[in-house]
Every structure is written in C-alpha cells, then in structure tokens.
C-alpha cells in the first residue's frame, strides 16, 4: 500500500461533472489499495472572481481580509468534493488548511509555509478516510487565516507529500503532462515522459504554466517525486525527478513569458557604483530584476537595460523617476511589448552550440533579438511581443523537428 497525494487544479474541479470525475479518480485509487490525500484549488475562476468582488467594494482591502475571502474558494471545493465522494459511498473527510496542520508566517497573500503538523491527516487516514485538503491556505501564529500566493495549491500538495512522506505527489491538470512547448502554440509539441527538477524549475519560472515554480523548488529540496498528468484522459503523465537519462536531448523544452517589461536607463555616468545604486533601489522595494544588459561606456556615459515582471513596471518606473537626480541619467525608456522566449535543457552543459542554433533559427525567421541571457541549462532571448508565437515555433522546429 502506498500513500499518494493528488492535487486537482481549478479547471479539474470547475463544475459538478468535473467534481464527479475527480471523485471517480480518487475513489478508484483508494480501491486499488492506496491511502489517498487530495489537495484542491478553487473551482474554475473563483479566485479571480473573489478578487473582483472585493475590488468593487474596496480597491485597497487589507491583505488579512483578502486572505479570509480567498481561502473560501478552496474550502468550498474541498467540501464539494468530499460531498461528491460521500455520495459514492466512500469514507471521506474534508479539512481546511489549518485543520490539516498547515502553519505559515504572517505575510498575508504571500505567506511562507513554516511547518506542517500532519497528525490530524494521519489520524484520518488511519480511520480509512480519503482526506481532502483545501489548498493555498494556512494559519499563522495568531490563528489568522493566510494564503500562500497564486498557484499555491501545487505547493500545498508538495508540502503535504513531504510532511506525510508520501510515495508520490500527482498534480492533475487539463493537459496530459509537461510538453516540449505549449501545444496551443506548437500543435505537434510532444509530451515528455520525464524531466529533471532543474529543467522543470527553469521551464516553470520561464513561463510554462503546468506547475508553480515554488512547488518544483520545494519538491527538489524535499525530494518529493512528482507526476504531472491529465484529469480527463487516462494516460501516463510526466515524471519530475532528480536525474533523468538525457540520451541526446540537448533541449527538453521551449517556454515563453509575455508578462515581462524592459526598462532602459540611458546616459548614466560611467563611474563605479552606478549599477549598485540602481539595483539596490529596486531591491529595497522588492522588485525582482531579471535580464540585465549594460552597454560599453561611450565618452563618460553608459546605458543599462533590464527586465522586470510586467506587474512591477509602473512601480519600478515611478521609483526610477523619483530618484532621477541621484541616479543621474539622461533618459528613461520602457516597453511592455516584449516577450521572453527560452530553450531549456540539462544536456546543454555538455553540448556547445545550442545558443548558436537557437539564434540562427530566429535569424532565419527574421526575428530580432533585443537581449540575451544564459545559464548552464537555458538560453533566453528577449524579442518583440508580436514575434513571440513564431519564435517559439521556429526554436521548437530547430530542436525537435516535426
């Protein structure tokens, strides 16, 4: 008998039929002799709808009250799924995050998991219950409800899998697994049988949406074996684990992120300490900077361009304008009509030339590269938003054919 944690995302529990489908998957797994813990997200667009509802009443609602509100979405899914499973005659209990022992810090809306006390869940499993846990939420030391950030149910599932020493953590979604590219952009993208944590982490943080990157990071750190699979089609998904046999795969996936913006500071002084001042200012305001490009100085001036998440553009721009005098630049330019397209593969380390092939594919398609950034296992380029789909297609074609 093994213990399996199964997580179902919002699209997998969106309506009554989908809840029945999930109940079937879960009860079948229990009938096969497994202990089953289920983590659910809020149904469909519930979280967005709740955010809108609150904004209509107060655009600057406190994060504590927003957490009280948003946690309801997952709580509702958990109860509805338990009710559906009960109807199938199977012993089941649903638990809120805090009932299940999820303890977090007090950073409302983006709380960090501090500890999980799995005692209650274990007790319910010992009573032969299927345990359904509301994802995305916990409790802080004051007894207040917290949420752990968008996409947090993936992380909840991994955290419980680690705390319960589960044999496997299955993340059910509306696609068959992790693909070599988003099938909506590249129709002949292939499903991967397996991928390493490091590659998955890059793909997730570079825009692939199947898994929240924080959950992958946690799975790697706590050695939780993950599987990404479909709620709607019965077929093996993609296993995410420490080492994957590489064969000749130089690239395992192409991802893109359109939620990026570029900021250029033109005519900065070419003296020591300038970059430090710019990026400390942004860091102090918790604005993450991604790709950075500094031009070679001309006369006494230099330019620095960098990217931030699109959602941070307004704040970053305002900050830089506010500090224009002390930073001493001539001009500030911004663009949010850009896209970051990346090729990821653990095989790159031992295979020179991946970047060159990627750039050649883009050149042949007449796509201009604005910025480049590389790591051991990825090459990212910044391009015009209008070229984004085509860039993914030609890079995928270069490495996977088809």
Could you tell which of Mg ion, ligand ASP, none binds residue 150, using a CB distance below 5 to 8 A set by kind?
Answer: ligand ASP
Among Mg ion, ligand ASP, none, the one that 97 touches (CB under a kind-dependent 5 to 8 A) is none
Minimum Å distance from CB 10 to ligand ASP? 5
**Complex with ligand ASP: residue 12 or 305, whichever CB lies closer:** 12
Place of tokens 């089609």: 233
For ligand ASP, the closer of residues 10 and 345 by Cβ is 10
Interaction between residue 42 and ligand ASP (CB under 6 A): yes
Q: How far apart are CA 292 and CA 370, in angstroms?
A: 11
Q: What is the nearest approach in angstroms of Mg ion to the Cβ of residue 40?
A: 11
Which of 38, 67, 90, 136 binds ligand ASP (CB under 6 A)? It is: 136
Least Cβ distance, residue 211 to ligand ASP (angstroms): 10
Q: Distance between CA 227 and CA 192 in Å, rounded?
A: 11
The residue among 258, 249, 256 whose CA lies nearest residue 190 is: 249
The binder of ligand ASP chosen from 12, 21, 35, 73 (CB under 6 A): 73
Question: Which tokens in the block code for residue 194?
Answer: 């397996």
Rounded to whole angstroms, the Cα distance separating 303 from 331 reads 9
Q: Which of 97, 101, 138, 151 binds ligand ASP (CB under 6 A)?
A: 151
Which lies closer to ligand ASP via its Cβ, residue 151 or residue 345? Answer: 151
Residues contacting Mg ion: total by CB under 5 A: 2
Q: Quick one: which segment of 113-121, 151-159, 176-184, 222-230 binds ligand ASP (CB under 6 A)? A: 151-159
Outline where DSSP puts E strands in 82-223: 92-95, 102-104, 113-116, 130-134, 137-139, 145-147, 168-173, 194-196
Residues 76 and 47 sit within 8 Å (Cβ to Cβ): no
Q: Which of 9, 73, 135, 152 binds Mg ion (CB under 5 A)?
A: 9
Q: Which is nearer to Mg ion, 161 or 282 (CB)?
A: 161
Q: With binding defined as CB under 6 A, does residue 153 bind ligand ASP? A: yes
User: Of these partners, Mg ion, ligand ASP, none, which one is at the site of residue 135 (CB under 5 to 8 Å by kind)?
Assistant: ligand ASP
Tell me: does residue 135 bind ligand ASP (CB under 6 A). yes
Give the shortest CB-38-to-ligand ASP separation in angstroms: 14
Total residue count of the chain as it appears in this document: 402
Minimum CB distance to Mg ion, residue 14 (Å) = 13
Long-range contacts of residues 270-278, Cβ cutoff 8 Å, at least 24 apart: 270/297, 270/299, 270/300, 270/301, 270/302, 271/300, 274/302, 274/304, 274/327, 274/328, 275/304, 277/326, 277/327, 278/304, 278/320, 278/327
The token pair at 389 is 């789909």
Is 47 an interacting residue with respect to ligand ASP (CB under 6 A)?
A: yes
Q: Cα–chain-centroid distance for residue 364?
A: 32
Minimum distance of Mg ion from residue 173's CB (angstroms): 7
**Which does residue 73 touch among Mg ion, ligand ASP, none (CB within 5 to 8 A, set by kind)?**
ligand ASP
Q: How far apart, in whole angstroms, are the C-alpha atoms of residue 113 and residue 290?
A: 25
Residues between 131 and 160 with contacts to Mg ion, criterion CB under 5 A? 151
- Residue 388, interface with ligand ASP (CB under 6 A)? no
| Phi/psi of residue 106, nearest 5 degrees | -100, 15
Binding-site member from 63, 150, 225, 241 for ligand ASP (CB under 6 A): 150
DSSP sequence for 22-47:
HHHHHHHHHHTT-EEEEEEPPSTTHH
Smallest CA-to-CA distance from 334 within 359, 364, 314, 358 is with 314
> To the nearest whole angstrom, how small is the minimum distance from the Cβ of residue 7 to Mg ion?
9
User: Which residues of the chain form contacts with ligand ASP (CB under 6 A)?
Assistant: 9-10, 41-42, 47, 73, 135-136, 150-154
User: Which residues of the chain form contacts with Mg ion (CB under 5 A)?
Assistant: 9, 151
């Amino acid at each position: 008998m093994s213990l399996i944690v199964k997580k179902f995302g919002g699209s997998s529990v969106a309506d009554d039929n989908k809840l029945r489908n999930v109940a079937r998957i879960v009860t079948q797994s229990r009938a096969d002799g497994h202990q089953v813990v289920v983590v659910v997200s809020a149904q469909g667009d519930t979280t967005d709808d709740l955010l809108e509802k609150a904004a209509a009443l107060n655009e600057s609602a406190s994060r504590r009250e927003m957490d009280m509100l948003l946690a309801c979405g997952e709580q509702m899914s958990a109860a509805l799924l338990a009710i559906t499973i009960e109807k199938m005659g199977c012993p089941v209990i649903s638990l809120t995050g805090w009932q299940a022992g999820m303890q977090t810090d007090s950073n409302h809306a983006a709380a960090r998991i501090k500890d999980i006390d799995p005692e209650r869940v274990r007790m319910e499993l010992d009573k032969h219950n299927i345990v359904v846990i509301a994802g995305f939420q916990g409790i802080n030391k004051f007894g207040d409800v917290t949420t752990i950030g968008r996409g947090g149910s993936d992380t909840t599932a991994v955290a419980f899998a680690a705390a319960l020493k589960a044999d496997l953590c299955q993340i059910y979604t509306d696609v068959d697994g992790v693909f070599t590219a988003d099938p909506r952009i590249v129709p002949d993208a292939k499903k991967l049988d397996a991928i390493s944590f490091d590659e998955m982490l890059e793909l997730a943080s570079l825009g692939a949406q199947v898994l929240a990157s924080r959950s992958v990071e946690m799975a790697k750190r706590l050695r939780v074996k993950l599987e990404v699979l479909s709620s709607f089609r019965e077929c093996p998904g993609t296993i995410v684990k420490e080492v994957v046999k590489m064969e000749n795969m130089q690239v395992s996936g192409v991802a893109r992120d359109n939620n990026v913006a570029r900021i250029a500071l033109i005519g900065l002084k070419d003296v020591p300490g300038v970059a430090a001042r710019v990026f400390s200012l942004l860091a102090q305001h918790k604005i993450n900077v991604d790709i950075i490009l500094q031009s070679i100085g001309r006369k006494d001036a230099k330019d620095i361009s960098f990217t931030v998440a699109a959602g941070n553009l307004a704040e970053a721009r305002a900050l830089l304008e506010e500090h224009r005098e002390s930073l001493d630049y001539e001009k500030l330019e911004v663009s949010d009509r850009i896209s970051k397209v990346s090729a990821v593969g653990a095989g790159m380390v031992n295979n020179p030339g991946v970047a060159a092939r990627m750039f050649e594919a883009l050149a042949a398609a007449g796509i201009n590269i604005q910025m480049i950034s590389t790591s051991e296992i990825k090459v990212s380029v910044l391009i015009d938003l209008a070229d984004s789909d085509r860039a993914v297609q030609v890079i995928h074609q270069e490495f996977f054919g088809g």
